[in-house]
Structure 1
């Protein structure tokens, strides 16, 4: 199951694509939380029937992005937006999708010509904490009850397809409703400072995860 959460679009002003305005962060968090809660609700209703027929565990893939990402700094993502978990755009079509150059965004001849500065990085990554997930649904569901456990999900994958981050706090909240999680794969972007708390999120996934058998990190060094 692939949950792709789409955040609102944004534009560039005289100062470029600045970091996500603080007043918009709650809206992004709400969008992410509601999407996850909706999916968990569906899985919770069907998991008994699924398990009754002896079906194996499911893999849950999470991704978050704004359509504007590929029009500004992450132009290479334009060819990945149409990818799915089961298909990939042919290589011949990928090169036609690239814009040759865009100096304002540090993009030259299909490659980044300079590192992102902090504001650009935060614009794409939705701040260093990533989209916040509310495990009690208080943003949208004022019940105060925790998100129901989903026993049929045994693998969690966060692909490199998009650059939005997932902090250790958010990973812990997501892991909490996946009691049978046996495999976790995180594919962060290559910049080391995009994942400043490497040890922290590893700890967050390992602590209390008696059934976790595989934890892996993959970084795409060929943006």
Structure 2
């Protein structure tokens, strides 16, 4: 009881001192202290001495958090310095440092003997990201943020950073140049002389059998090349779980290239990591970024940003094929359930002997008469696929964006299907009957329950993150800390709109002779 209390209050003092009380306390305290560790540029040099062979089996989670060079903001930098501002983040020097750090880090981890599960969480960011335009951004280890920290982030922490924009320009839409900065490429083609050299470099990295899970969360807005990730994952021969939360590409042509790289990633995992049993892919986005980029390039043929993402059918087919040996699969926005289920429908011999949970998104879940038949077709094909998933426990198909949210849920025990959404939709007989057959295959005496649930109209869907929350989707869809960060981003965006609206009202009032100065504080 004493030890439990000490560990719960670990933030109040140096818990490591209690390890000197006795051998028993040393073992238990070290298990707690070493279960989750973080590694950055400063700690990497002393990493091997900090984690001994005796304490290495205690480590279950490593957060590799790499900080890039700081950069100036065009809103607060002196005009004479603008020409000296770095255009790219990461810079070429940054990428070379990441490359060297990975060589060192993989070399150290390669000496670890496999000891249960070990999750490697990789994040890359610049301290300047949250000092200029994106003050609300946070960079956290993979853990649910406590209430105090959430409130601190939401209501501002002016004491937490010494360097802030002086013009509060974070209250207006971010320009395309700043958005492009935080979405730079990690270890890109500038780091290597050729694709062959890059492939050889990944291939020569030491194998790390201790790692069983990889997290790449949405707080890393800079982009890993999916093809490179496939090569990285091949260095983990015991990899069982992949959780990847990339951001969508903003340029239409870049998106097509990235989709080809997604295909390469999926093929690589199937070939080099056949033991993987859990895959989560959550492609994040922010409508305000797309709006800002479209506004910044209204007629440019060199840059074309689509308002909404159009998923690739080819990637959908490969995800469907990759799911055959999985136990858990969740794919949001990267592919559409329609292409996934079409691939399943076109390959009648496919079966999923291990699959327990399946979560997909689809753009056909929208209100309106025209959507009724596409929704029914998706759900009918989902039932046909579920009949070849003998261990399936839950299936979710959902859609969410600003203003709408809807989901279809099947659960095996007790048997039920549920429609939940921001608009009424009735599951008709032609949809319900195939799911009755799914239930009958398992238990001829079981009865299927059909539910319809409405989301309270008081809940406003500011984005897909609100949809995840109010649809009660499973936690495996996205990491809890990522969901919190996206919802915080939504709140900031709502505040920006309120400021802009008030500013326009002030201008109108001032112009109509009501004597309201548009320069008065708007918040």
Q: Same fold (TM over 0.5)?
A: yes
Whether the 8 Å contact between 1:149 and 1:178 is mirrored in structure 2 is yes
Query: 1:3-42 alignment to 2 at 5 Å?
Result: 3-12=64-73, 13=77, 14=79, 19-20=87-88, 25-42=91-108
Q: Counterpart of 2:218? A: 160
Q: How many residues align?
A: 197
Aligned to 1:211, which of 239, 254, 275? Answer: 275
Counterpart Cα distance in 1 of 2:245 and 2:281: 6
Aligned to 2:243, which of 185, 190, 208? Answer: 185
Cα deviation code 1:122-164 (max 9, x no counterpart): 31122xx333477xxx89xxx9980111112121111122311
Taking a change above 3 Å as real, the CA distance of residues 68 and 115 of structure 1, as seen in their structure-2 partners, is closer
Runs (5+) with no aligned partner, structure 1: none
Runs (5+) with no aligned partner, structure 2: 1-61, 285-482, 490-523
Q: Counterpart of 1:96? A: 156
Q: Please, what TM-score do these two structures have when normalized by structure 2?
A: 0.33
Whether the 8 Å contact between 2:131 and 2:165 is mirrored in structure 1 is no
**Structure 1 residue 43, shift from structure 2 partner:** 0.8
Q: Which has the higher helix share?
A: 2
Cα deviation code 1:173-201 (max 9, x no counterpart): 31221122222111234x55278255334
Whether the 8 Å contact between 2:215 and 2:242 is mirrored in structure 1 is yes
Q: Counterpart of 2:118? A: 58
**Aligned pair 1:85/2:142, yes or no?**
yes
**Structure 1 residue 69, shift from structure 2 partner:** 0.8
Taking a change above 3 Å as real, the CA distance of residues 200 and 214 of structure 1, as seen in their structure-2 partners, is farther
Counterpart Cα distance in 2 of 1:212 and 1:144: 20
Q: Please, what TM-score do these two structures have when normalized by structure 1?
A: 0.72
Aligned to 1:107, which of 162, 170, 173? Answer: 170
What SS is found at the alignment partner of 1:2?
A: strand
Whether the 8 Å contact between 1:149 and 1:179 is mirrored in structure 2 is yes
Q: RMSD of the alignment, in Å?
A: 3.4
Question: Larger relative CO (CA 8 A, sep 6+): 1 or 2?
Answer: 1
